[in-house]
Amino acid sequence: MIAGEGRRYAGPLEKVNDYCYRIPKTYKKGMRVDGLIFANEALIQQIVDDQAPEQVANVATLPGIQVASLAMPDIHWGYGFCIGGVCATDPKQGGVISPGGVGYDINCGVRLIRSNLTLADVRPRLGRLVGALFAKIPCGAGQSGSRTFSVEELKTLMREGPRALLAYGLAEARDIEYTEARGRLDWAEPDWVSERALERGRDQCGTLGGGNHFLEVQVVDEVFDDVAAQAMGLSQGSICVLIHSGSRGLGYQVCVDALHQLAGVPAMYGIELPDRQLACAPIGSPEGQRYLGAMGAAANYAWCNRQVLMHDARQVFESVFGRSWQSLGMELVYDVAHNTAKPEEHEVGGRKKLVYVHRKGATRAFPPGHPDLPEVYRPIGQPVLIPGSMGTASWVLVGQEGSMKLTFGSTCHGAGRAMSRTRAVQIASGRRVEAELASLGVVARARAWRGLAEEQPAAYKDVDLVVEVVHRANLSKKVARLRPLGVIKG
């Protein structure tokens, strides 16, 4: 059972409007700002069923925190920060960086590939296609890929991100342009990544991993914004591929190492914390800079991992359909991260300042006109990719002005778990989850029954409800709904 599950949050919650609730900073000693949870009445009833709101209050005690401790409608219990948590800290006001605000799977994220294939093209070959993807792409915890990089090659990947893969024929220049931050955090310091982390990452670039990670073949089921969909190359009935993965064992080890290194650091700087899982360091301190450098390296590696996964998926489509991926129109729509901390300029109290935005299980959602977006997306806003859970829809949205005013340019990252993996396995006992998915028209392949049981649709909140909240709150706007056809996972 996840810590916090089954212990209902009993603290104060004040309704701000139909899509936002407040935890007042008077609730707990040490809170510097309020907590704000974006949710509607239906979702808030689920959210208070675990202790995730308590974590929102805890994060509000961090030095240098700006405006509020924020949570998206897919909020659930996590390590230190809730999953779905957002926090911006100002280094000029003693702001800290916290690994708990990034998570173990650094730069876990989502990549969407469009195509000119239609449902009629794919339906007769769907079983073969899913089988070929499952055979080609390593799935599951601890799985190795077909490529092993030397330590120096690995450090180059961690320093440069996917642009380093151009030399291997595993990336195209356009792929990099349509990746968040162009796939590179330029403060990455691979030399600050431990030997253990390097060893874990050498043969895992191009692997899917386990848990909620997946590769899914989808069809555009409904379009809500024709202009934005056209800019992304999406149309009703067209086929897409959605990839959800992160930095694998390398990123996990970077987090483990950082938590060990930072265990006694708050006390060194006179920082009192309500939860030791919020271990942190001042951003400008040697300890803070060391974590940022290692975290940046892991984030760049994660972008490389998703890039190689896309390359391999393209090859499978070429084999199954007998045409080049270029002729199939398999271009990258966008790649978004949802476990990072990055320096960004935001308006706070009427003036612009540089803050470090922690997004843990939250997605960047910059609005139209933002200079960090590819030129083609500046008129519509940043593509936002919200994955579902095998049997439920995924969503494409675009960032809106409300995100900059309310959430430091952030929105939700998925449906959010409604129960622990242990509980999901318990309720799946005696059932054939793959047969249930087949009855919904979804071909699923996994390395083990448990992987399907843990990630069954019932284990998650209603993704349509979650998306409705961020749409109504003006954090991001609906563009298209994607229906799953086939999925592979660990």
The residues annotated as belonging to the active site are 413
Question: Which letter, b or e, does each residue of 100-134 get, where b requires 16 or more Cβ atoms within 10 Å of its Cβ?
Answer: bbbbbbbbbbbbbbbbebebeebeeebeebbbbbb
Neighbouring residues of 51: CB distance < 8 A, sequence distance ≥ 6: 3, 4, 7, 9, 77
Type and span of the H or E element at 286: helix 286-321
* Cβ-contact 101, 262 below 8 angstroms: no
Say which residues have a Cβ less than 8 Å from residue 87's Cβ, sequence separation at least 6. Answer: 59, 62, 65, 69, 70, 81, 98, 101, 357, 358
* Residue among 235, 224, 343, 234 at smallest CA distance from 289: 343
3-state class of 69 per DSSP? strand
**CB 139, CB 450: distance < 8 Å:** no
Q: Is 409 helix (H, G, I), strand (E, B) or coil?
A: coil
Computed on alpha carbons and rounded to an integer, the radius of gyration of the chain in Å comes to 21
Give the C-alpha separation, 460 to 466, whole Å. Answer: 11
